């Protein structure tokens, strides 16, 4: 609040306005406590100085995202900030950790997409723009990290968007902790799917909202130890039952009634329904349909939602039968019956609806009519049926309708909870509270009272939380806060809920007395709370009362409080519907135990709601709360309309202004040191010379200006309310003084220059002017002398004339005044005498009247006292006559207890007939004893009849008290004897129950034994199943070995000669044009003969074992890094050669492929060198397979291979020396002699080979993804530093006199982040080059990396306002230049089109740094400057832009308006509404693209590693000799 210290002439202030709440203006004049202000609309007003608030002229044009950052935290500052942000479609704003959400009344899907959820995942609160996702993320992270439950409280008035906000919270929590889609319908899906059902039965159209929740909802989302949603529960509070029967125009009843009336025709015919206006409960309002909403479509959607949440078709039909029955029940009108004060259905129409209601509820129509029109009263003497008059019958009908609907709603909630399922083992939960906001209407009834009571409770919780947050902030900064007062509303809560004297307690007390009315209840309130400052009695009403809530005073009408507070079911309704033929309806009215009925004779809505609210507060107190306050900007429910008064009231009702008051009680203004020095350093420039300590400098500035009561924390300066304005006033004075000095110096220079010019011209004119002036002076003196003489004579004449006139006038006036004075004195004396006479007469009359009233009152009191004594005597006489009837009633109770014991004994006997044969005799004895007792009872009855007759005679003959005494004693003795016998029967019954309990225990033990045996049997079955599976696997391995043996037998001839090969023999072999053969025929014969002799004579290992040894050696070899031969990976080449030589591609079963894949999988490490090595090998091997293998079954390939194979042993040997199978040439070069691409023949691959190729493809993609993600992880921290750079740079701009040096060092430090990114990219590129990764894959990697940089920078630009500034644009532009230089160094071979991926951030940065933005048109911006950016993105950047360097403005308001129009036209397109970019993490290539992009590889001359090159089994790997 303003003070004389900080508001001066010229200050900009906020002044109150009846229409706009607050309007800004400038102080023009101050007169003491009166201030004259010129408003911005041109009007001038005068107000008191204490009613003004200072305005921050340096506030950002687009507002601040956290209102604790406001320089002046007061009502007009908050309102203006919300208005500025709402105009920019920024609907979310923080106040500390409280989120304010303003309903935009339009779709903004770009705020809630999946990528937006990804952006807020794990982000600290306040780092990104305010959002409901940020609150949910903070709650989830706190629950995971601290292991404590959290709650999110969503409040606001009807139409503020509470339900939609709750849906968004649920979706985000499902995104964070949801289960995979493959696990079926998850808990969060079921909770979200239950919303349509609850909305159909719990929502209605109100004056302020077309889909207003008329109940409170608290959703508990339970999480397991891994942070995944494991269960949920929905709890509801205070359904508005009165809406079922009473609807105000233009509101509607609950949606389900209208949905059922719009159902398909067969449904309408079945339930005998019609248009809503034909039903009394719906036609009280003229509104039956909602604009743009189809009730028929919503009916089908509700039925589908019921199917989803697990409500069966039978239950759905029963539900809508009850809804239809309620509609028909409302159409039953009552007229006067034949008897006095009786009622019957009014006409045939009412009888039809009565019959239809009975059919739908499956009960007797006559019984239903009796239940509506009659009441049963049980008296000690008899049962009386009392008829109801038509008005009471209508009230009874409405009570039944409300009871039916409320129980139906409770059943739906219970069914949904059972369908969702709760996790009772869960220790952590997040509760989302969707509760109605504070309500104050022209007519406020019991519902508004309960709603406002709830908000009082929540407000107290809110105040405590805000105060706690303030304490944490002060404690964190280590400042003293012990003297700060806490705003509490406990006195209002005591007024409402305190026992025994609270409003709810008095209401329950009034409801328990049948004769109580709302008038007696109101009088009781007036008497009890007449001295309570929170309770006000209205002057113009006898039954209303006013409560001063935290949000203002609310006047309640108590005329329906008692009826709405009662919560009991009339016994007639309980009996009628409990016996319904429909199990569903009967289930809504379960039988009530007699003990329960006796113990709880009265139940009230207020007490039950108070208990629910207490449980809710216990739940909230056990959790960490988070608050979302929803605000409705206007009552028209239209976008882009901001009603100040409406929003101020909602902020007051939502407690936001209360939180501001708490904040203002402490230190509402908090500024980091660098911001404080940057703003107020000019107040003490000597402090900022050289190097200085920021904390000490802030302290010195404040002390110099005489500021008292401030606190300096660790990182911030804390100022009391008004001190910021005082500092701004000092700052304005300093700036004004400096401006005056500059202006004075400038004006002095201009004036001196002008003076010299004028003086030179004046000197030339003076001589001429002086001569002319002398002549004129002479003439003037002459005329002056003549004029003086004339004036003297004239003045003398005028003075004499005036004196004469004045004297005559004075004499006339004196005469008149004296006459008037005499008349007034006479009149006064006469009036005084008359008043004295009147007073005497009045005092006499008053004394006489008082005496008469006192006498009359005394006589009346005496009469009433005597009458009361007489009534007491009469009552005693009547009580004496009724004692005989009391004895009969005691006897009847004993008979009932005897009958009940008999029934229970017979029931126990039937249950234990087969188990208790030994007790038959005892039961027989008990039955005989019961018969004897029955006889005694009969005898007693007979005796009582005789004694009653004798008593009547005795009463007639003598005084009743004397004659009835012996009868009473005699009957008492008999009653005691019967009670003793009953106790004996109870004892025997107890024994029988104990025996029955023993038998039950034995039965339970037998069941446990059977259960153990069943478990053992299941374990045995599992073992048998496992043995069968093992047998199948052994059979498969056997078949595999057989197929491998077949292939190895075919290779036996070619393998055997390899044993005799040596270096000398291999050097003899030559290659001829005509074919492959040896020149030495003698060598041919020797080898031929010796090979067969070796095979036939020497014992050798089996071919299968030899093959296994070779495979083992290959696996051991490739598991170690083998390096490269030129640019060819050795491991890939030898794997390919071995597989070809062993013909592994052509066998049906083999394990070599699996072992190779496993080796690659084990060798992969999270190391870029190893990943690059295996990416090179895997991609090369995949290329070879892609060009060699083809699926088996191609026509003509097998015969061709057979024809091309050699028919002799020497032909097979020559092929084995070259390491190639028939039809395959390993020379893949274009210019290789004797073969090339044209002569390349493919191998028919079997299933294992094709599967190996698919697995290898998957590994290439996996390794590629790991390499890409590793690079992203490496540069992400540097990108984060680049994003945070604007904050750092602003902090470095205020460092003393050496600012230029500091700025240069700061810029160098900031650009180092970009250089670090470039360095990481260079190292990564060198690693890929060193491992000969194909350039195609390198280009793909860097293209996706640059796309990732583009997404991160661009999204941060749109989500962080501090990034969307001019200086940050220059900074990012310099960083992008570094990346462009790197792309030039890397060349197009490896960088490719990576630079083009930065197009979004490049164009956005170009827009930020361009000058003269207001002169740019929308076409120039969207087509020339930023053609890639969408309208939504351009609008976001334009509205968030701020120039922190030169103070320039963003684009013009016309351009902003055009953007809004385009956005509105395109609002239905979800894609166009998304302004954030999404990171693409897919694999951007296919196997065919790899094959086409890579050059052909010649693997013929690749040298094998030494460990297998020396093994004779791998001699085919040796390079061939030309």
Residues with catalytic function: 158-159, 163, 209, 212-213, 437, 439
- Give the 3-state secondary structure percentages of the chain, helix then strand then coil, rounded to 5: 65, 10, 25
Sequence length of the chain is 1522
Sign of CA dihedral 168, 170, 175, 176: positive
First to last CA, the chain: 100
Cα–Cα distance list, 1470 to 112, 1296, 1389 (Å): 11, 51, 38
- Residue 27: count other Cβ atoms within 10 Å of its Cβ: 21
Of 213, 113, 221, residue with least CA distance to 162: 213
Sign of the four-CA dihedral 528, 534, 539, 542: negative
Cα separation, 22 vs 16, whole angstroms: 5
Extract the tokens encoding 185. 């319908």
Query: Are the CB atoms for 1391 and 1328 separated by under 8 Å?
Result: no
Find the farthest-apart pair of alpha carbons in the chain and give their distance in angstroms, rounded.
176
Q: Is residue 11 a contact partner of residue 26, using CB atoms and an 8 Å limit?
A: yes
Do the beta carbons of residue 132 and residue 92 sit within 8 Å?
yes
Please answer whether residues 1104 and 1044 qualify as being in contact, where contact means their C-beta atoms are separated by less than 8 angstroms.
yes
**1181: buried, middle or exposed (CB in 10 Å: 19+, 13-18, 0-12)?**
buried
1110: closest CA among 1169, 1150, 1083? 1150
The DSSP-derived string for 124-178 is PTTTS---HHHHHHHHHHHHHHH---EEEEEE-STTSSHHHHHHHHHHHHHHHHP
Beta strand pairing call for 150-155 and 428-434: parallel
Contact 134, 117 (CB under 8 A): no
Closest CA relative to residue 1136, chosen from 1148, 1116, 1153, 1113: 1153
Encode 355-384: b = buried (16+ Cβ within 10 Å), e = exposed: bbbbbbbbbebeebbbbbbbbeeeeeeeee
Q: What's the Cα-to-Cα distance from 259 to each of 105, 243, 294, 318, rounded to whole Å?
A: 24, 16, 9, 15
763 is written with which tokens? 């000197």
* Strand order across the 53-54 sheet: 44-48, 34-39, 21-31, 12-17, 53-54
Residue 214: cis peptide before it, omega within 30 degrees of 0? no
DSSP string, 411-477: HHHHHHHHHH---TT--EEEEEEE-------SS--HHHHHHHHHHHHHHHHHHHHHHHHHHHHHHHT
| Sign of the dihedral through C-alpha 1266, 1271, 1274, 1278 | negative
743-754 b/e with 16+ CB inside 10 Å = b? eeeeeeeeeeee
Tokens of 177: 């902790």
Alpha-carbon torsion, ordered 1199, 1203, 1209, 1211, to 10 deg: -130
CA-closest candidate to residue 911, choices 819, 1039, 1003? 1003
**Quick count: other Cβ atoms within 10 Å of Cβ 442?**
6
Q: 540 CB contacts (<8 Å, ≥6 apart)?
A: none
Burial of 548 (0-12, 13-18, 19+ CB in 10 A): middle
| Phi, psi (degrees; rounded to nearest 5) at 705 | -90, 5
């Amino acid at each position: 609040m303003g003070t004389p210290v900080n508001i001066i002439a010229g200050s900009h202030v906020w002044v109150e306005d009846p229409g706009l709440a607050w309007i800004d203006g400038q102080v023009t004049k101050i007169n003491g406590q009166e201030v004259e202000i010129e408003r911005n609309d041109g009007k001038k007003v005068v107000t008191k100085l204490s009613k003004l608030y200072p305005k921050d002229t340096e506030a950002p044009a687009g507002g601040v995202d956290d209102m604790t950052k406001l320089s002046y935290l007061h009502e007009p500052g908050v309102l203006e900030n919300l208005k500025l942000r709402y105009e920019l479609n920024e609907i979310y704003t923080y106040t500390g950790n409280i989120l304010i959400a303003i309903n935009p009344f339009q779709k903004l899907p770009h705020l809630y997409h999946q990528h937006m959820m990804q952006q807020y995942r794990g982000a600290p609160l306040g780092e990104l723009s305010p959002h409901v996702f940020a609150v949910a993320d903070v709650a989830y992270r706190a629950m995971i990290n601290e292991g404590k439950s959290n709650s999110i409280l969503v409040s606001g008035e009807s139409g503020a968007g509470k339900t939609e906000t709750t849906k968004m919270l649920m979706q985000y929590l499902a995104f964070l902790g949801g289960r995979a889609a493959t696990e079926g319908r998850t808990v969060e899906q079921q909770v979200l799917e239950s919303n349509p059902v609850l909305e159909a039965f719990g929502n209605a159209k109100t004056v302020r909202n077309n889909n207003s929740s008329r109940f409170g909802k608290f959703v508990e989302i339970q999480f397991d130890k891994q942070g995944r949603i494991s269960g949920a529960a929905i709890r509801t509070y205070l359904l508005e039952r009165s809406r079922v029967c009473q609807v105000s125009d233009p509101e509607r009843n609950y949606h389900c009634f209208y949905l059922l009336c719009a159902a398909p025709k067969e449904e309408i015919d079945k339930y005998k329904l019609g248009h809503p206006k034909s039903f009394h409960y719906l036609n009280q309002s003229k509104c039956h349909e909602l604009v743009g909403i189809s009730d028929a479509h919503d009916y089908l959607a509700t039925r589908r939602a019921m199917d989803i949440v697990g409500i069966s078709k039978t239950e759905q039909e029963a539900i809508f039968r009850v809804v239809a029955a309620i509609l028909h029940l409302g159409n039953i009108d009552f007229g006067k019956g034949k008897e006095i004060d009786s009622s019957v259905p009014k006409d045939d129409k009412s009888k039809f609806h009565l019959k239809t209601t009975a059919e739908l509820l499956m009960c007797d129509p006559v019984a239903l009519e009796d239940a509506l029109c009659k009441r049963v009263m049980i008296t000690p003497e008899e049962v009386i049926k009392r008829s109801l008059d038509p008005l009471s019958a209508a009230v009874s009908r409405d009570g039944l309708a409300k009871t039916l609907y409320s129980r139906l709603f409770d059943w739906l909630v219970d069914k949904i909870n059972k369908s969702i399922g709760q996790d009772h083992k869960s220790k952590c939960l997040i509760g989302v509270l969707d509760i109605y906001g504070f309500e104050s209407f022209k007519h406020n009834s019991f519902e508004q009272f309960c709603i406002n009571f709830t908000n009082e409770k929540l407000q107290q919780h809110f105040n405590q939380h805000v105060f706690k947050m303030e304490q944490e902030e002060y404690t964190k900064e280590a400042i003293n806060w012990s003297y700060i007062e806490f705003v509490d509303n406990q006195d209002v809560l005591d007024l409402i809920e305190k026992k025994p004297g609270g409003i709810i307690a008095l209401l329950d007390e009034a409801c328990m007395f049948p004769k109580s009315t709302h008038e007696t209840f109101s009088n009781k309130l007036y008497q009890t709370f007449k001295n309570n400052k929170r309770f006000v009695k209205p002057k113009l009403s006898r039954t209303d009362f006013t409560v001063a809530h935290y949000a203002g005073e609310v006047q309640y009408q108590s005329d329906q409080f008692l009826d709405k507070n009662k919560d009991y079911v009339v016994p007639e309704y309980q009996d009628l519907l409990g016996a319904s033929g429909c199990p569903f309806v009967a289930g809504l009215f379960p039988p009530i135990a007699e003990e329960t009925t006796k113990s709880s004779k009265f139940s009230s809505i207020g007490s039950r709601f108070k208990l629910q609210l207490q449980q809710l507060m216990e739940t909230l107190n056990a959790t960490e709360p988070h608050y979302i306050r929803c605000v409705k900007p206007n009552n028209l429910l239209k976008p882009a309309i901001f009603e100040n008064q409406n929003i101020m009231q909602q902020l007051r009702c939502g407690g936001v202004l209360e939180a501001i008051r708490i904040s203002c009680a402490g230190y509402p203004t908090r500024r980091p040191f660098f911001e404080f020095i940057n703003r107020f350093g000019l107040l003490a420039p000597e402090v900022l010379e050289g190097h200085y300590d920021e904390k000490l400098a802030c302290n010195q500035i404040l002390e110099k200006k005489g500021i008292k009561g401030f606190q300096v924390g660790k990182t911030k300066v804390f100022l009391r309310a008004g001190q910021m304005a005082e500092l701004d006033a000092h700052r304005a004075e300093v700036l004004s003084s400096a401006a005056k000095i500059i202006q004075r110096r400038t004006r002095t220079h201009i004036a001196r220059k002008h003076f010299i010019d004028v003086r030179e011209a004046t000197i030339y004119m003076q001589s001429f002017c002086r001569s002319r002036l002398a002549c004129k002076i002479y003439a003037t003196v002459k005329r002056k002398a003549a004029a003086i003489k004339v004036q003297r004579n004239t003045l003398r004449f005028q003075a004499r004339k005036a004196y004469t006139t004045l004297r005559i006038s004075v004499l006339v006036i004196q005469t008149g005044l004296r006459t008037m004075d005499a008349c007034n004195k006479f009149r006064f004396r006469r009036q005084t005498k008359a008043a004295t006479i009147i007073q005497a007469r009045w005092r006499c009359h008053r004394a006489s009247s008082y005496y008469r009233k006192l006498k009359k009152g005394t006589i009346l009191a005496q009469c009433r006292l005597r009458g009361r004594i007489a009534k007491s005597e009469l009552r005693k006489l009547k009580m004496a006559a009724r004692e005989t009837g009391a004895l009969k009633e005691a006897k009847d109770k004993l008979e009932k207890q005897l009958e009940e014991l008999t029934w229970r004994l017979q029931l126990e006997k039937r249950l234990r007939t087969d188990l208790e044969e030994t007790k038959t005799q005892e039961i027989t004895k008990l039955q005989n004893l019961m018969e004897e007792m029955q006889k005694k009872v009969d005898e007693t009855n007979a005796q009582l009849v005789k004694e009653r007759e004798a008593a009547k005679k005795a009463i007639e003959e003598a005084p009743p008290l004397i004659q009835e005494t012996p009868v009473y004693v005699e009957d008492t003795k008999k009653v005691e004897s019967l009670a003793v016998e009953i106790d004996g029967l109870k004892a025997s019954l107890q024994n029988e129950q104990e025996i029955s309990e023993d038998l039950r225990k034995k039965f339970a033990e037998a069941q446990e034994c059977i259960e153990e045996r069943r478990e053992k049997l299941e374990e045995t079955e599992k073992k048998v199943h496992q043995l069968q599976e093992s047998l199948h696997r052994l059979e498969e391995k056997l078949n595999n070995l057989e197929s491998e043996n077949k292939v190895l037998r075919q290779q036996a001839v070619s393998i055997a000669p390899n044993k005799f090969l040596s270096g000398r023999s291999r050097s003899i072999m030559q290659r001829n044009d005509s074919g492959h053969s040896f020149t030495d025929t003698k060598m041919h014969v020797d080898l031929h003969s010796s090979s067969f002799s070796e095979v036939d004579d020497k014992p050798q290992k089996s071919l299968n074992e030899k093959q296994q040894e070779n495979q083992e050696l290959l696996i051991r070899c490739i598991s170690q890094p083998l390096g490269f031969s030129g640019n060819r990976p050795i491991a890939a080449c030898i794997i390919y050669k071995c597989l070809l030589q062993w013909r592994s591609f052509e066998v049906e079963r083999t394990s070599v492929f699996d072992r190779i894949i496993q080796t690659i999988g084990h060798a992969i490490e999270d190391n870029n060198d190893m990943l690059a090595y295996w990416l090179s090998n895997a991609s090369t091997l995949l290329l070879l397979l892609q060009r060699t293998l083809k699926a088996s079954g191609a026509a003509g390939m097998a015969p061709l291979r057979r024809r091309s194979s050699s028919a002799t042993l020497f032909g097979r040997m020559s092929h084995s020396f070259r390491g190639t199978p028939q039809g395959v040439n390993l020379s893949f070069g274009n210019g290789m002699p004797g073969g090339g691409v044209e002569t390349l023949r493919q191998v028919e691959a079997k299933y294992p080979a094709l599967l190996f190729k698919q697995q290898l493809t998957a590994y290439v993609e996996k390794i590629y993804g790991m390499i890409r993600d590793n690079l992203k992880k490496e540069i992400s921290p540097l990108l984060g530093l680049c994003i945070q750079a604007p904050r750092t740079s602003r902090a470095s701009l205020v460092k003393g006199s050496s600012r230029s040096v500091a700025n240069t060092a700061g810029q160098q430090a900031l650009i180092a982040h970009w250089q670090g990114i470039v360095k990481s990219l260079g190292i990564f590129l060198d690693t890929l080059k060193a491992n000969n990764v194909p350039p195609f894959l390198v280009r793909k990697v860097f293209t996706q990396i640059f796309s990732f940089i583009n997404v991160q920078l661009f999204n941060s630009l749109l989500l962080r306002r501090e990034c969307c500034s001019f200086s940050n644009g220059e900074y990012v532009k310099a960083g992008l230049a570094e990346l462009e230089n790197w792309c030039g160094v890397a060349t197009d071979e490896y960088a490719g089109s990576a630079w083009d991926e930065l197009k979004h951030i490049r164009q956005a940065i170009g827009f930020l740094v361009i000058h003269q933005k207001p002169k740019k048109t929308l076409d120039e911006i969207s087509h020339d400057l930023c053609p890639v950016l969408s309208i939504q993105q351009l609008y976001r950047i334009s509205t968030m832009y701020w120039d922190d360097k030169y103070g320039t403005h963003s684009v013009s308001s016309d351009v902003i308006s055009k953007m809004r129009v385009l956005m509105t036209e395109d609002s239905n397109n979800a894609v166009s509404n998304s302004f954030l970019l999404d990171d693409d993490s897919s694999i951007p290539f296919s196997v065919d693209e790899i094959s086409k992009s890579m050059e052909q590889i010649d693997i013929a001359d690749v040298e094998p590693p030494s460990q297998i090159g020396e093994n004779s089994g791998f001699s085919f790997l040796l390079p061939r000799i030309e």
